[in-house]
Protein backbone atom coordinates (compact mmCIF):
# COMPACT_ATOMS: atom_id res chain seq x y z
CA UNK A 1 0.00 0.00 0.00
CA UNK A 2 1.30 3.46 -0.89
CA UNK A 3 1.74 6.19 1.71
CA UNK A 4 -0.90 8.28 -0.04
CA UNK A 5 -3.46 5.48 0.05
CA UNK A 6 -2.70 4.78 3.71
CA UNK A 7 -3.27 8.43 4.64
CA UNK A 8 -6.41 8.66 2.50
CA UNK A 9 -7.82 5.78 4.54
CA UNK A 10 -7.01 7.65 7.76
CA UNK A 11 -8.93 10.66 6.45
CA UNK A 12 -11.86 8.44 5.49
CA UNK A 13 -11.74 6.94 8.98
CA UNK A 14 -11.79 10.40 10.59
CA UNK A 15 -14.79 11.43 8.49
CA UNK A 16 -16.66 8.30 9.51
CA UNK A 17 -15.87 8.92 13.16
CA UNK A 18 -16.91 12.55 12.95
CA UNK A 19 -20.26 11.71 11.35
CA UNK A 20 -20.99 8.67 13.50
CA UNK A 21 -23.14 8.41 16.61
CA UNK A 22 -20.13 7.29 18.63
CA UNK A 23 -18.86 9.37 21.52
CA UNK A 24 -15.94 10.91 19.65
CA UNK A 25 -14.09 13.83 21.20
CA UNK A 26 -12.51 16.83 19.54
CA UNK A 27 -9.14 15.49 20.68
CA UNK A 28 -9.72 12.14 18.98
CA UNK A 29 -10.19 13.86 15.62
CA UNK A 30 -7.34 16.31 16.15
CA UNK A 31 -4.85 13.58 17.05
CA UNK A 32 -5.47 11.68 13.82
CA UNK A 33 -5.63 14.76 11.59
CA UNK A 34 -2.38 16.17 12.99
CA UNK A 35 -0.70 12.77 12.63
CA UNK A 36 -1.69 12.78 8.97
CA UNK A 37 -0.24 16.27 8.49
CA UNK A 38 2.97 15.23 10.27
CA UNK A 39 3.24 12.22 7.98
CA UNK A 40 2.80 14.45 4.92
CA UNK A 41 5.58 16.74 6.15
CA UNK A 42 7.94 13.84 6.91
CA UNK A 43 7.25 12.26 3.53
CA UNK A 44 7.90 15.52 1.69
CA UNK A 45 11.29 16.00 3.39
CA UNK A 46 12.48 12.43 4.04
CA UNK A 47 16.22 12.97 4.37
CA UNK A 48 18.59 14.94 6.55
CA UNK A 49 16.23 14.87 9.56
CA UNK A 50 18.79 16.50 11.85
CA UNK A 51 18.94 19.52 9.56
CA UNK A 52 15.20 20.12 9.45
CA UNK A 53 13.22 19.68 12.64
CA UNK A 54 9.72 18.28 12.81
CA UNK A 55 8.30 21.69 13.73
CA UNK A 56 9.91 23.37 10.74
CA UNK A 57 8.68 20.65 8.39
CA UNK A 58 5.14 20.80 9.73
CA UNK A 59 4.84 24.59 9.56
CA UNK A 60 6.54 24.87 6.18
CA UNK A 61 4.22 22.23 4.78
CA UNK A 62 1.19 24.26 5.80
CA UNK A 63 2.50 27.71 4.87
CA UNK A 64 4.36 26.88 1.65
CA UNK A 65 2.17 24.18 0.11
CA UNK A 66 -1.38 25.11 1.12
CA UNK A 67 -3.62 27.04 -1.26
CA UNK A 68 -4.68 30.58 -0.23
CA UNK A 69 -8.16 29.46 0.81
CA UNK A 70 -6.68 27.73 3.87
CA UNK A 71 -5.05 30.96 5.08
CA UNK A 72 -2.38 29.02 6.95
CA UNK A 73 -0.05 32.04 7.07
CA UNK A 74 -2.77 34.31 8.46
CA UNK A 75 -2.26 35.73 11.93
CA UNK A 76 -4.59 34.96 14.83
CA UNK A 77 -5.29 38.35 16.38
CA UNK A 78 -6.99 36.93 19.51
CA UNK A 79 -3.90 34.79 20.15
CA UNK A 80 -1.72 37.91 20.00
CA UNK A 81 -4.12 39.47 22.48
CA UNK A 82 -3.99 36.48 24.85
CA UNK A 83 -0.19 36.73 25.00
CA UNK A 84 -0.36 40.50 25.58
CA UNK A 85 1.44 41.29 22.34
CA UNK A 86 -1.39 43.77 21.65
CA UNK A 87 -4.21 45.25 23.75
CA UNK A 88 -7.94 44.91 23.32
CA UNK A 89 -8.30 48.41 21.85
CA UNK A 90 -6.19 47.21 18.92
CA UNK A 91 -8.87 44.63 18.05
CA UNK A 92 -12.59 44.66 17.16
CA UNK A 93 -13.31 43.73 20.79
CA UNK A 94 -12.26 47.25 21.71
CA UNK A 95 -15.32 48.68 19.98
CA UNK A 96 -18.36 49.36 22.24
CA UNK A 97 -20.80 46.47 22.28
CA UNK A 98 -18.27 43.93 20.99
CA UNK A 99 -16.77 42.85 24.31
CA UNK A 100 -18.59 39.49 24.37
CA UNK A 101 -19.01 38.96 20.65
CA UNK A 102 -18.02 35.65 19.04
CA UNK A 103 -15.79 36.30 16.03
CA UNK A 104 -14.87 33.99 13.15
CA UNK A 105 -11.52 34.10 11.41
CA UNK A 106 -12.44 36.37 8.49
CA UNK A 107 -14.00 38.88 10.87
CA UNK A 108 -10.93 39.54 12.99
CA UNK A 109 -7.74 37.86 11.72
CA UNK A 110 -5.28 39.40 9.26
CA UNK A 111 -2.89 38.28 6.57
CA UNK A 112 0.77 38.51 7.53
CA UNK A 113 1.08 41.63 5.35
CA UNK A 114 -1.89 43.32 7.04
CA UNK A 115 -0.68 42.36 10.50
CA UNK A 116 2.79 43.73 9.74
CA UNK A 117 1.26 47.04 8.71
CA UNK A 118 -1.17 47.27 11.64
CA UNK A 119 1.31 46.20 14.33
CA UNK A 120 4.68 47.55 13.10
CA UNK A 121 6.29 47.29 16.55
CA UNK A 122 5.94 43.49 16.58
CA UNK A 123 8.83 41.80 14.73
CA UNK A 124 7.73 39.61 11.84
CA UNK A 125 9.38 36.55 13.39
CA UNK A 126 7.07 37.02 16.40
CA UNK A 127 4.00 37.55 14.25
CA UNK A 128 4.68 34.30 12.42
CA UNK A 129 4.47 32.42 15.72
CA UNK A 130 0.76 33.32 15.66
CA UNK A 131 0.02 32.05 12.17
CA UNK A 132 -2.60 29.35 11.80
CA UNK A 133 0.14 26.92 10.81
CA UNK A 134 2.18 27.63 13.94
CA UNK A 135 -0.85 27.45 16.21
CA UNK A 136 -2.02 24.16 14.72
CA UNK A 137 1.43 22.77 15.46
CA UNK A 138 1.79 24.20 18.98
CA UNK A 139 -1.79 24.13 20.28
CA UNK A 140 -3.09 20.99 18.60
CA UNK A 141 -0.34 18.71 17.33
CA UNK A 142 2.04 19.14 20.28
CA UNK A 143 -0.44 19.53 23.11
CA UNK A 144 -2.58 16.54 22.23
CA UNK A 145 0.43 14.36 21.39
CA UNK A 146 2.64 15.25 24.35
CA UNK A 147 0.38 16.70 27.05
CA UNK A 148 -2.69 14.54 26.25
CA UNK A 149 -4.95 17.59 26.52
CA UNK A 150 -5.72 20.76 24.59
CA UNK A 151 -3.74 23.96 24.99
CA UNK A 152 -5.16 26.23 27.71
CA UNK A 153 -6.41 28.64 25.02
CA UNK A 154 -8.16 25.97 22.94
CA UNK A 155 -11.89 25.33 23.15
CA UNK A 156 -13.96 22.65 21.46
CA UNK A 157 -16.90 25.06 21.18
CA UNK A 158 -17.14 26.05 17.52
CA UNK A 159 -19.30 28.79 16.02
CA UNK A 160 -22.17 27.51 13.91
CA UNK A 161 -20.85 28.99 10.66
CA UNK A 162 -19.99 26.09 8.37
CA UNK A 163 -17.47 28.07 6.32
CA UNK A 164 -15.41 29.28 9.29
CA UNK A 165 -11.86 28.06 9.75
CA UNK A 166 -11.51 29.31 13.32
CA UNK A 167 -13.85 30.96 15.81
CA UNK A 168 -13.19 32.74 19.08
CA UNK A 169 -15.27 32.94 22.25
CA UNK A 170 -14.62 34.75 25.52
CA UNK A 171 -14.00 33.08 28.86
CA UNK A 172 -13.26 34.74 32.20
CA UNK A 173 -9.79 33.92 33.53
CA UNK A 174 -7.95 35.70 36.36
CA UNK A 175 -10.32 38.65 36.23
CA UNK A 176 -10.09 39.21 32.50
CA UNK A 177 -11.68 37.77 29.40
CA UNK A 178 -9.45 35.29 27.63
CA UNK A 179 -10.18 34.72 23.93
CA UNK A 180 -10.51 30.99 23.41
CA UNK A 181 -9.50 29.53 20.03
CA UNK A 182 -11.55 26.88 18.22
CA UNK A 183 -10.07 25.38 15.07
CA UNK A 184 -13.07 23.98 13.24
CA UNK A 185 -13.00 20.24 12.62
CA UNK A 186 -14.24 20.57 9.04
CA UNK A 187 -11.40 22.98 8.29
CA UNK A 188 -8.75 20.69 9.77
CA UNK A 189 -10.07 17.69 7.85
CA UNK A 190 -10.12 19.64 4.57
CA UNK A 191 -6.57 20.83 5.23
CA UNK A 192 -5.25 17.32 5.86
CA UNK A 193 -7.20 15.92 2.93
CA UNK A 194 -5.66 18.52 0.63
CA UNK A 195 -2.10 17.75 1.71
CA UNK A 196 -2.62 14.04 1.26
CA UNK A 197 -3.91 14.73 -2.27
CA UNK A 198 -0.71 16.60 -3.25
CA UNK A 199 1.87 14.21 -1.82
CA UNK A 200 4.82 14.14 -4.24
CA UNK A 201 5.78 11.04 -6.14
CA UNK A 202 8.22 8.79 -4.26
CA UNK A 203 11.12 9.52 -6.61
CA UNK A 204 10.58 13.29 -6.71
CA UNK A 205 10.16 14.17 -3.07
CA UNK A 206 11.69 17.48 -2.06
CA UNK A 207 15.00 17.13 -0.26
CA UNK A 208 16.21 20.70 -0.14
CA UNK A 209 15.03 24.26 -0.40
How do residues 67-90 score in pLDDT, each as one tens digit?
A: 999 999 999 999 999 999 999 999
pLDDT at 208 over 60: no
pLDDT, mean over the chain: 91
45 contacts 207 by C-beta, under 8 angstroms: yes
pLDDT at 52 over 80: no
Backbone angles phi, psi at 166, to 5 degrees: -140, 150
The pTM for the full model equals 0.92
The structural domains of the chain, with segments of one domain joined by +, span 3-203
Per-residue model confidence (pLDDT) at position 166: 98
Which secondary-structure segment (H or E) carries 28? helix 26-44
Backbone angles phi, psi at 2, to 5 degrees: -75, 160
Mean pLDDT of 90-94: 92
Strands 103-104 and 166-173: antiparallel
C-alpha distances (whole Å) from 82 to each of 24, 172, 174 are 29, 12, 12
Confidence of residue 206 (pLDDT cuts 50, 70, 90): low
Quote the CA–CA distance of 68 and 108 in Å, as a whole number: 17
Per-residue model confidence (pLDDT) at position 173: 78
Amino acid sequence: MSMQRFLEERIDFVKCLYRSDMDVSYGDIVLIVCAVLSACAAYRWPRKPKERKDKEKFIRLLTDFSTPEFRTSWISIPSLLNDKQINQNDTPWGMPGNECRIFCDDEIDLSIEEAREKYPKIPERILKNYSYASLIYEMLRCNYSHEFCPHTNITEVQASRNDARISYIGRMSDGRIKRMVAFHIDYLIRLAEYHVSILPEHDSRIESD
